[in-house]
Amino acid sequence: MSKRLLLIITLLTVLFFQIPVVKKYTLESANSLKNSFSSFITSWKVIYEEYIDQKDTLQKVLEENKFLKDEIQKFAVRYATCKDLKYFRYINFPNLVFTQVISYAKLPDFTEVYINYDKPFKTPRGLVYNNMAAGIVVKNYSNYSLALLNSNEKTSYTVYIGKDKIPGIFYGKINTIKYIPKFKPIKVGDLVITSGLDGVFYKGAKVGVVTEVIEKKLYQEAKVKLFYNDLNPEFFYVVQTPLEKIQKSKK
Q: DSSP of 186-203, one letter per residue?
A: --TT-EEEE--TTSSS-T
- Name the band, by pLDDT with cuts 50, 70 and 90, for residue 217: confident
CA distances to 22, 36, 127, 233 from 229, rounded to whole Å, are 104, 83, 13, 8
How many residues are given for the chain?
251
Question: pTM of the prediction?
Answer: 0.62
Instruction: Enumerate residues 6+ apart whose C-beta is below 8 A from 55.
Output: none
pLDDT tens per residue, range 137-189: 999 998 999 999 999 999 999 999 999 999 999 999 999 999 999 988 999 99
For residue 161, what pLDDT is reported? 96
Q: Is 208 exposed, middle or buried (0-12, 13-18, 19+ CB in 10 A)?
A: buried
Phi/psi region, residue 109 (left: phi>0; alpha: psi -120 to 50; beta: rest), is beta
Q: Where are the domains of the chain?
A: 1-84, 93-251
For residue 26, what pLDDT is reported? 55
**Considering only the top CATH level, what class is 93-251?**
mainly beta
